[in-house]
Structure 1
Amino acid sequence: MKSNSPRYFIKKWGNPSKDIPPLVCLHGFTGSSKTFESLFDNRQLDFQVIAIDLIGHGQTSVVVDKMYYTFENMCDEVILELKKIGVVYFSLFGYSMGARLALGIASKYPDHISHLILESGSPGLKTTQEQESRRASDEKLALKIEEEGVASFVDFWENIALFDSQKSLPKKSQEKIRQERLSQQVFGLANSLRFMGTGSQPSFWPKLKEMTLESITLIVGELDSKFITIALEMKRENSKFQFITIKEAGHCVHLEKPDEVYQVINSIMKGGAI
């Protein structure tokens, strides 16, 4: 390992099972492994859960080399980090940015993955023009982080329409989410936007038809109309995809309805009906 390479923080719940491969969890932008505490803390788990703080987030070290922040590199890094702890076959659950990354990993390393669970995920943008426009938009946000700092950006970010439904959460839960966002670092967040944003990732739309994993599940909140539309279009591309809508939830379903999302995950992991 190079001396300047990131040191990834990994959080675990439960214990390894000889019958059920572990579940690897990938968080969203401005998040970390902490976001999954509401899902797995105080649960009687029959399998192991492994959450990784992705580059630019949480307790994973912030490095200068921007190569480490690219979408393609992060796909490889997740596989390498899991191999270091003896995990080569697993189910994969990703939320938002983490769902996009999970889809990338599943496309590149299908033999490593049993079940794929995407919460509020997207295969990316379809055209070069859309990608260029999104990269320009993400660059503006990255500059905002660098010029105004994390706190100012979080004030802006938590008030975008995508997260409106989170305002109905208990104040304690809202404050926990805010503190997780505030704990991020300027350089890490800005470069995550630049190199792992939706405009910078490859488009996986053409690959959806080719995916033949044991199961692929799309979880979306019923209040998140944008991602319901995306999920339905993904299912049209590949009828193997299962589509689940969680009532009274927006974009971050696992924070707004943790029990319901856990029930879905637990059923998938144990091979039961959803």
Structure 2
Amino acid sequence: MSGEIRFQSRDGLNLYAKSYGPVDAELTVLCLHGLTRNHKDFEPLIEKLSPNHRYIGLDVRGRGQSERDPNSSNYRLDIYTQDIQELLKVLTYKKLVLIGTSMGGLLSLILSQILSEELVGVVLNDVGPKLEKIGLDRIAGYVGSFIEHDSWEDAALAVQKSQISAFPDFKFEDWLAFAKRTHRKLENGKIVLDYDPAIAESLKNIQIDVSAEMQTWALFAATYKRPLLVIRGEISDLFSSDTAAKMVHRHGRATIVTVPNTGHAPILDEPICVKSIEKFLRKLED
């Protein structure tokens, strides 16, 4: 069972989320996507997980079916967090789990500090308190580069060009599916990326220095009181193995899963991810 959730932000934007599974489930899993993605990013995973859980996929403002913000300076983590809090106000749930990919993982760290006992577990997908500059530079190289494509096949080839280093084992059908999750068709038939190109400006606000890193590690400390699953792509250029190991050590009870020959960020439908996430969720139901 699935359904649309439409709600408003504090500053009046119309935002969108999609619900999958029974609304009275014991566990509600809130899925938070990365910088240029949308709720569809999690559909390959949701299709393979237990239908007994409820999953909520959010389109952060400026992405997917959520309204574009006329003020691009609002494309930042604190505003996104406020939007998520507004979404939670319209949801009914018993236990809440966060699955955050990349930017969504950073949002999960912030929410870990804000939410109380209703948040029972967190999954971080290829992200941590320290981000590698080489990965950020690569992402900055393609974010906001809008090209109109004449066909889904052309869009798939464009995605392949920008993401091949992260997914060297993908076949063309994988790239086509990737394109359909990240693009939309305009009324004129052209196919474009499904986000506001103005979000590229937000990358300029990311600081990589000792002070910023210390602040993010302090945020990470909020996860200590909850079960944590850390997923890392083996060849990720944004999230290092050293940072992942440090997170697990500091948390004390966290589990790390490495996805072979995959970069930033795993789709999460990989068998090792599905198995690990399902096991994690089942434990949280008890």
TM-score, with normalisation over the residues of structure 2?
0.74
Letter of the aligned partner of 1:115 in structure 2? G
Q: Does 1:254 align with 2:261?
A: no
Structure-1 separation of matches of 2:197 and 2:56: 25
Q: Does 1:232 align with 2:238?
A: no
Letter of the aligned partner of 1:97 in structure 2? M
Structure-2 separation of matches of 1:47 and 1:214: 19
- Retained in 2: the 8 A contact 1:90–1:112? yes
**Aligned CA distance change for structure 1 residues 102 and 3 (closer, same or farther; 3 Å):** closer
> CA offsets, 1:21-69, max 9 Å, x none?
2000011122111111111126541110111011221111102134532
**Aligned CA distance change for structure 1 residues 156 and 190 (closer, same or farther; 3 Å):** farther
Letter of the aligned partner of 1:149 in structure 2? F
Letter of the aligned partner of 2:226 in structure 1? E
- Retained in 1: the 8 A contact 2:48–2:274? no
Q: How does 1:49-128 map to 2 (within 5 A)?
A: 49-66=55-72, 68-87=74-93, 89-124=95-130
- Retained in 2: the 8 A contact 1:71–1:101? yes
Question: 2:152 maps to what in 1?
Answer: none
Letter of the aligned partner of 2:199 in structure 1? L
**Aligned CA distance change for structure 1 residues 264 and 198 (closer, same or farther; 3 Å):** farther
Question: 1:177 maps to what in 2?
Answer: 178
1:177 deviates by 1.7
Structure-1 separation of matches of 2:10 and 2:224: 38
**Aligned CA distance change for structure 1 residues 159 and 101 (closer, same or farther; 3 Å):** farther
Q: CA RMSD in A?
A: 3.7
Q: How does 1:156-175 map to 2 (within 5 A)?
A: 159=161, 163-175=164-176
Structure-2 separation of matches of 1:58 and 1:199: 29
> CA offsets, 1:73-112, max 9 Å, x none?
2112112212112347410001111111111211232434
1:232 deviates by 1.1
1:125 deviates by 5.8
Q: Work out the number of aligned pairs and report it.
A: 259
Stretch deviating more after TM superposition (199-208 or 105-114):
199-208
1:10 deviates by 0.8
Counterpart pick for 1:214 among 200, 208, 226: 226
1:209 deviates by 3.8
Structure holding more helix per residue: 1
**Aligned CA distance change for structure 1 residues 157 and 107 (closer, same or farther; 3 Å):** farther
Structure holding more strand per residue: 2
> CA offsets, 1:186-206, max 9 Å, x none?
4443244356x5669883213
Runs of 4+ in structure 1 deviating by more than 6 angstroms, as ranges, are 137-140, 154-157
Q: Does 1:263 align with 2:275?
A: yes
TM-score, with normalisation over the residues of structure 1?
0.77
Letter of the aligned partner of 1:175 in structure 2? L
Uncovered stretches (5+) of structure 2, i.e. residues with no partner: 1-7, 150-155, 184-191
Q: Secondary structure at the match of 1:266?
A: helix
Letter of the aligned partner of 1:173 in structure 2? D
Q: Percent identity?
A: 17
- Retained in 2: the 8 A contact 1:150–1:186? no
Question: 1:27 maps to what in 2?
Answer: 33
Structure-1 separation of matches of 2:65 and 2:158: 23
- Retained in 1: the 8 A contact 2:13–2:67? yes
Structure-1 separation of matches of 2:207 and 2:243: 14
Question: 2:16 maps to what in 1?
Answer: 9
**Aligned CA distance change for structure 1 residues 207 and 190 (closer, same or farther; 3 Å):** closer
